[in-house]
Amino acid sequence: MESTMPLVLVRTPTYRRPSQLKRALNCLQAQTHQDWVCEVRDDCPDKSAQKVIEEINDPRIKYISNRPQQYLIANLDACFRLENQYSADYFFMLEDDNQIKENFIDRGIQIIEQNGVSICQINQVIDYVTENRLSSFGILNGTFDERVYQPEEFHLSLFGGIGISNGGAFWSKNIRQELSFKTDTIPALDEYIRTCMVVEPIYICREKLAVWTQNEEETTRNLGFGRGWLRRELDLKASIRHIRRTIWKKTPQHLQKDFLEGGVLRIPMKNRALALHKADINLINNQPESNNKIKRMAVKYLGRVHPSVTRI
C-alpha cells in the first residue's frame, strides 16, 4: 500500500567529508517523518562519497556524481531546484557537515500547513568545531521574532542580520519562486541573493532544530583564489552594498520609517545604522564614526558589483 504521507526531497551537497556526510545522513534516518528521499550530490572527482552511501545501504539515499564537477556555488544552487523525478511535496538542503534534530522535517511540514505559507526558515545553533561546543543561541535570534514575515520585511534582515540560511530553509512545491538562481556568483553572496528571491510570506521558526557548522577553513575550495584576496573582498562588499541599496529603494516608505525607528526586526539600532552607512544610505541620526572611511571608499570606487546581483 502506497504511503499517503507527504514526500520530502533532501539534497546533500558533499565534497570529501565522509565522516561528516555519514553523520548528516544518520540524522535523516533518525527523523520522526520517514517519507523522504535524499540526493547526495558528490562534487569529488574520485567519487569519495559513494562508499559512504554503499555502507549505509538505505534505498532512500540516491548517489549522484557531478559530471562535470560543479564546484561550490553551483553544487549548492542545484539543491534549491524544484524540478525532480520523485514528485516531492517538500524540500530542504542538508549540507554534509551540518545536522538536524529528529523532528526537523515534521516541524517544517507542520509550520507550512498550519500557517498557510510555502516557505519557512528554521533556527540553527552553531557548532564551533575548533572549540568543540555548540552555541546556546540560534542564528535567527538576533534578527527575527517567531511569526510570518512579509517579503518586504524579510528583505530588511540583510541590514545587520541574516535572511535565508541555506541549511535552515524548508519549502513546499508550491513556492512561488524557486530559490535557485542558476548563475555563478561570489561565494558568501548566495544567501544574500536567495534572501532577495523570497517573494511571498515566510514563517520564521525560532526553535533550534538544526546545527550549522562553523568551519571556514574546510570550505574554501574553488573560491576564485586566482583573483587575490583583496579583489574578492572588494567585489563581495561592493555587491552587498548594491543589494542593500536596491532593497532599500524597493522598501515601502512606511516600512522604511518603522525600520529606522527600531521596528520590523530585532536587529540592534547600531547594526542597522552601520549597514545603512556602508551602503551610503545615511538616514539615521548619530551615524557611526567612519573609522573605516578609506575601506568604504575603496569598496565604493574600486569594488566591482558581480553580475549575479544586478537583476535583484
288 & 183 share domain: no
142 & 230 share domain: no
Residue 240 lies in a domain: yes
Here the CATH number for the domain that contains residue 93 is: 3.90.550.10
Identify the residue with better confidence: 254 or 286. Answer: 254
171 & 28 share domain: yes
Q: How many domains does the chain have?
A: 2
Mean of pLDDT values over 174-179: 98
115 & 23 share domain: yes
> pLDDT tens-digit profile of 260-299?
999 999 999 999 999 999 999 977 655 555 557 788 888 9
Residue 242 lies in a domain: yes
> pLDDT tens-digit profile of 17-49?
999 999 999 999 999 999 999 999 999 999 999
Residue 209 lies in a domain: yes
User: Above 50 in pLDDT, residue 223?
Assistant: no
User: Above 90 in pLDDT, residue 258?
Assistant: yes
Contact (CB, 8 A) for 211 and 127? yes
Identify the residue with better confidence: 288 or 71. Answer: 71
Q: Is the dihedral of CA 90, 96, 102, 103 positive or negative?
A: negative
252 & 192 share domain: no
62 & 197 share domain: yes
Residue 221 lies in a domain: no
- The pTM assigned to this predicted structure is 0.93
Task: Give the CA radius of gyration of the chain.
Answer: 20
Mean of pLDDT values over 116-123: 98
User: Above 50 in pLDDT, residue 222?
Assistant: no
Contact (CB, 8 A) for 38 and 12? yes
* Maximum Cα–Cα distance across the chain: 67
Domain end point (choices 192, 214, 236):
214
Predicted local distance difference test score (pLDDT) of residue 279: 94
> pLDDT tens-digit profile of 149-158?
999 999 999 9
Domain end point (choices 171, 188, 214):
214
Q: Is 160 left (phi over 0), alpha (psi -120 to 50) or beta?
A: left
CA distance 116 to 203: 9
120 & 210 share domain: yes
Q: At 62, which helix (H) or strand (E)?
A: strand 61-65
Residue 193 lies in a domain: yes
Residue 312 lies in a domain: no
Residue 95 lies in a domain: yes
52 & 150 share domain: yes
- Average pLDDT of the chain, as a whole number: 92
Residue 311 lies in a domain: no
* Residue of 11, 163, 133 lying closest to 76 (CA atoms): 11
Q: What percent of the chain has pLDDT over 70?
A: 93
Domain end point (choices 214, 242, 273):
214
Tell me the residue range of the domain where 251 lies: 226-306
54 & 153 share domain: yes
Q: What percent of the chain has pLDDT over 90?
A: 84
> pLDDT tens-digit profile of 124-136?
999 999 899 999 9
User: Above 70 in pLDDT, residue 123?
Assistant: yes
210 & 77 share domain: yes
What's the Cα-to-Cα distance from 199 to each of 17, 305, 307, rounded to whole Å?
A: 34, 23, 21
119 & 165 share domain: yes
Predicted local distance difference test score (pLDDT) of residue 58: 98
Residue with cell 568543540: 132
